[in-house]
Amino acid sequence: MGRKLLANNKKARHDFFIEEVYEAGVVLTGTEIKSMRQGRVNLKESYAKIERGEVFIYNMHISPYEQGNRYNVDPLRPRKLLLHKQEIRKLIGYTTQKGLTLVPLQIYLNDRGLVKMEIAVARGKKLYDKREDIAKRDAGRRMDRMLKNR
């Protein structure tokens, strides 16, 4: 799979338990695409929400394109995500009944040049869960160091 990663949300895996991952298309303008190809996109603090049977991404920052002048749009505007109807119904069930949230994991260009986003159905971690993960990671690193030194 030839895909170029444009942005990655590292905090998502730290702050949430990932239940299920979906791939969605993103509705963008021409200047937004050009800016994204330069890697000027940020997923931090962004989240997805379902409104009137459609999924939107909020707080995803795409810097204005330098040569875009009047065609540039608001960098933080809500953008529509393209998913199949049955996927949206599933997501509605997850978010309303189970109380889970929709978090973007990464945004990339696929091999056909289309912008795709991975969104995850996620459950928030408590502070002690984060500490557990950090402790496990540190223990693994110590073990690797010990094995390497032998």
Q: Where are the domains of the chain?
A: 4-125
For 4-125, CATH gives: 2.40.280.10
Q: Output the tens digit of pLDDT for each of the chain's 150 residues.
A: 578 888 888 888 888 888 889 999 988 888 888 888 888 888 888 888 898 989 999 998 888 887 777 777 777 888 899 999 999 988 888 888 887 888 999 999 888 888 899 999 988 878 777 888 888 889 999 998 888 887
Chain centroid offset of residue 137 CA:
23
Report the alpha-carbon distance of residue 44 to residue 15 in Å, rounded.
Answer: 12
Tell me phi and psi for residue 77, to 5 degrees.
-65, 150
